[in-house]
Amino acid sequence: MCHPPPSGGLGEEENLWIACSLCNDTKLDRVAGRDPVTGDLVRLFNPRRDIWSKHFAWSDDGTMIVGRTAEGRATVALLKLNRSSLVIARRGWVGAGWHPPTETESQQPSP
């Protein structure tokens, strides 16, 4: 697995996060992005510290991630979390009953 060099963090397993190569290549060591609504530079969602459901929601059909906060919107925009390939995959997962995850799965930050 390839990982970008750590930005002030340790390159140890507990400091790494699984991500697709496109998200990894896009995020790199960025910790902030532009909120597409306000244009403000805001910190990005941190899956180790933040609660997913505070910053994001699923669209009614379960195929798109909607940013609820400036941080959520900036993260969705920067990582292109609603690019067509992901929306198509989610549509298939919804049809199979695998998606979206339950509310309790997105309540707590990861350890």
**Over the stretch 65-80, which tens digit does the pLDDT of each residue have?**
999 999 999 999 999 9
pLDDT over 80 at 2, yes or no: no
Let me know the angle formed at the C-alpha of 27 by 34 and 104, rounded to the nearest 5 degrees: 85
Q: Domain map of the chain by residue range?
A: 31-106
Structure tokens at 105: 């799965």
Q: pLDDT for 7-29, tens place per residue?
A: 555 556 655 656 677 777 677 78
pTM of this structure: 0.76
How many angstroms separate the CA atoms of 77 and 93, rounded?
22
Phi, psi dihedral angles at 103 (to 5 degrees): -55, -40
The DSSP 8-state label assigned to residue 6 in this structure reads P
Question: What whole-number percentage of the chain has pLDDT above 70?
Answer: 72
